[in-house]
A and B are shown apart, each in its own frame.
Chain A
Amino acid sequence: MRVGKPLVLALCAIMAAGMLFAGGCSRGEKFPSKPIEVIVGWGAGGGTDIFTRNVVPAAEEILGVSIAVVNMPGAASATAMDYVMKQPADGYTVFAITSDILPNAVLGRTPYTPQDLRPLIRAHVDIGLIQVGKKSPFNTWEELVAYAKQNPGKVTIGGTGAGSYDEVAVAVVTRSAGLDVEYVPFDSASEMHAALMGGHIMAMYEETGPAIGMIESGDVWPVLVFAEERLERFPDVPCVKELGLDLPPLQWRGLAVKKGTPEEVCKILEDAFAKACESQQYKEFASKRFLDLYPGFLRGADFAKSLEDELKQYEEILKQLGYKK
């Protein structure tokens, strides 16, 4: 069959018009008009992944578009950050961030710093504690200090990762207490938990959620809270501030987009995710994981400011620890 010239021309015109229309749609129309992706720099099933999946459903309802959670694990989320930075700054790529982006930037694991991001919200703060077990040679923070002073360099405190948030937090607190302790980095929390229960390390830095089973069974208990105030959940455990020790930066989770995203788009996303943090599902998740022990929610502007302060703190500490020259 031969197709006539007029028909071909007409088809071309229709297609051209279609393209113009499509182009107009994605530029001028209101945000969001297509699905949004949230990039998680950790594997499925991890803390950050679960956080994202619990905040997303409410945000989907508010924004009226579907939001896909995409896992890109690797290098403490540095790989995912590289990916986010290569996407257009249009608000359709949201990045689930954790405190780890700070040491990653300071240690040069990614060429990008938190200043390349426009923070949307800080959803919560995960308060850490120094915890000891039945085989530890001390039962309280006071006893730990006394033991460490008598045996300099002998006290071993486990944490996850090297040059990580855990190491920085432990260093800030023990140094301000004038203690000489050894930080023992572990790859996985479960290995560290077993090492504490088996008496291979004397103490560990850990948040409440992952250790709650052992805390409730009485195998492990907290001796020091890394916060300004005592926690309601552990009223007898002293906090860093009341002992006159330095407060380390906080461990948090939040959301951000690439810097340069139009401000009105950022505002829409910020409002939507802030409201999603009020949702029933998110609140239930936060309380089940003990993420509501401390008021950690911040909106974009405050979050950006706190990030700036924390970045300086990390730079200083990691330099002191010999990670950065």
Chain B
Amino acid sequence: MLVVAELLLQGLTEVLTPPNLMAITLGVVAGIVLGAFPGLDSTVGAALFIPVTYGMSATQALLLLAALYGGAVYAGQIPAILFRIPGASEAVVTTLDGYAMARKGQAGKALGVGLVTSLLGGLFGVTTLILLAPLLANVALRFGPAEYFALGVLGLTAIAGLSGRSITKAVISALIGLLLATVGIDPITGVARFTFGQSMLLSGVSFIPAVIGLFAVAEVFKQASRPQVVRALDETELRTGRRLRVELPSLGELRRMAGLIARSAVIGAWVGILPGVGATTAAIVGYSQAVRLSREPDKFGTGVPEGLAASETANNAAVGGAMVPLLALGIPGSATTAVMLGAFLMHGLKAGPLFLVQQERLAFTLFVGMGVATLLIFPFALLAVRPFVALLRIPYPMLAAGILAFSAVGARAMGDLYGILMMFCFAVLGYLLERYGFPVAPLVLGLVLGRIVETSLRRALIIAAYDPWMVVSRPITAVLLVLSVLSVAVPAWTRYRTRRAAEK
């Protein structure tokens, strides 16, 4: 414990040096700006900002990206509350009660509750990271190919068990992702698969151009295909006028929601730790738990601060959680951390089981930096709300052009020769998927986890002399696979029971 305290202190002195503090501030501000803009979220933001970190030290780069992640997850709530536009996918659930509160004329209060619960959730997530990541690191070496395989399966099943309205569509989307993950040179046999003789496909789907296309550009297509030009400001502006201020919740209000906030924080951090699922899922699960355990479940969705608090605590707690598997295992805990993995490699760092052992100082600097970033969100958020109201007045066509230009730069910035082409292909795919009600997140998960699951299983089979039983009967593997089965079976069972109860 003393060692941890010492390392934290060391991390704090490191964080408080001007260049590092500047990186964090830049990250928070960029995160808030990007997160609040529709179509730009932490995943795209991290991808866009990786080139900016080329010239920085590894510490600064990681601090900036982590701060950006936290800032973006917070800021998604601003347009969600004000205009019913989730600024980022994490804020999808926030729109439910947040916008309803704004319509009741409580926009300022909604922003205040959202901000405070975001901070509480974020700090809980960072604490989890500090306490759990070193622990997981010691367990990490037990993870061989067989265990990575099971971990990947668990990530995949979590999404199937937790995703949105239509499970069938989510599964189809995930399958498309899995299929796309097989494109390129087969990592085990070296044979080219599904490349159709195109050299751009030899190295597989390039992840960053793909996610920029799927999220940012597809959103532009979606908005552009609407018959009317979207006006960012509507009646909310008329109602609240220019006197829009953030009203912080009172201590009494917070105390009333303490149980709910604590529960949502634990759920958020836990979902964040699960590889492959991040803040968006965390918010959904946190919200559904809050509804299930509430005495007045009917009030949710009509503009109660509880709904907002559940979603915002959970999604911000997931940020710290998502960093746990990234730092301890080298496996991204969310789409954003998957992008961050690229930044690790670029700066010559090995995000993997050895990171916490070999880069202890850097790791603790990052921990403390994330805590500081969470606190920094507070003043910047207070400053930010005003200009956002003005920013969102930019006519959408101009905004869209800017998003496209930024996206193209981001897709090409990785040095990928065919990045822009790849980006537009995925933008069309993303547009069509959303158009027909297929969630895009499972596709990204399939894309990320498909490769892990496939190559790890095949690698494990080589090691086990092709005896499948030897692979699945390893203790950790077996436990993870059982958990995978449960995470599919339990929600299905619950749904079945509620349906039966409803029929009675």
Contact = CB atoms under 8 A, between A and B. Distances in A.
Answer whether A and B are interacting partners.
Answer: yes
B347 A45 contact: yes
Interface in B386-423: 414-418
B192 A198 contact: no
Contacts of B462: 156, 182, 184
A153 B465 contact: yes
Interface in B447-467: 451, 455, 459, 462-463, 465
A132 to B, nearest CB: 15
Closest 7 CB pairs of A and B: A163-B190, A200-B144, A75-B202, A71-B415, A74-B203, A162-B190, A190-B352
A102 B98 CA distance: 59
A162 B188 CA distance: 5
B143 A198 contact: yes
A234 interface: no
Interface string B462-501: 1101000000000000000000000000000000000000
A195 B145 contact: yes
B410 to A, nearest CB: 15
A78 B144 contact: no
Contacts of A156: 462-463
A201 interface: yes
B187 A162 contact: yes
A45 B348 contact: yes
Interface in B143-201: 143-146, 148, 184-190, 192, 199-200
Contacts of B231: none
A194 B143 contact: yes
B380 interface: no
Contacts of B222: none
28 contacts: A44-B346, A44-B415, A45-B346, A71-B415, A73-B415, A74-B202, A79-B199, A79-B200, A79-B203, A107-B190, A109-B192, A109-B202, A154-B465, A161-B187, A162-B185, A162-B188, A162-B189, A163-B189, A182-B465, A185-B187, A185-B188, A186-B459, A190-B353, A194-B140, A198-B353, A200-B145, A213-B358, A323-B190
Contacts, number: 123
A76 B451 CA distance: 17
Interface in B307-350: 330, 345-348, 350
Contacts of A184: 145, 459, 462-463
Interface in A170-198: 182, 184-191, 193-195, 197-198
Nearest to A74: B203
Contacts of A73: 203, 414-416
Contact of B141 (A83, A154, A197): A197
A72 interface: yes
Contacts of A193: 350, 352, 354
Interface in B421-443: none
B190 A43 contact: no
Given A44-B54, A78-B199, A198-B353, 9 more contacts: A73-B203, A74-B200, A78-B202, A156-B462, A163-B190, A187-B187, A187-B451, A194-B143, A194-B352
Given A184-B463, A186-B459, A43 B415 contact: yes
A107 B146 CA distance: 29
B142 interface: yes
With a 10 A CB-CB cut-off, give which of B146, B148, B189, B415 has the most chain A CB atoms: B415
A46 to B, nearest CB: 8
A110 interface: yes
A72 B415 contact: yes
Contact of A43 (B330, B345, B351, B358): B345
A78 B351 CA distance: 26
A158 to B, nearest CB: 9
Contact of B346 (A43, A75, A167, A323): A43
Contact of B199 (A45, A82, A153, A197): A82
Given A78-B202, A156-B463, A162-B188, A72 B417 contact: yes
A70 interface: yes
Contacts of B148: 191
A154 B467 CA distance: 13
Contacts of B203: 73-75, 79
Nearest to A182: B462
A190 B190 contact: no
Interface string A34-52: 0000000001111000100
A216 B234 CA distance: 65
B377 to A, nearest CB: 30
A198 B141 contact: yes
Interface in A85-111: 107, 109-110
B270 to A, nearest CB: 24
A200 B415 contact: no
A208 interface: no
A197 B190 CA distance: 26
Contact of B352 (A83, A188, A199): A188
Interface in B95-146: 140-146
Contacts of A213: 358
B186 A162 contact: yes
B459 A79 contact: no
Interface string A143-161: 0000000000110100001
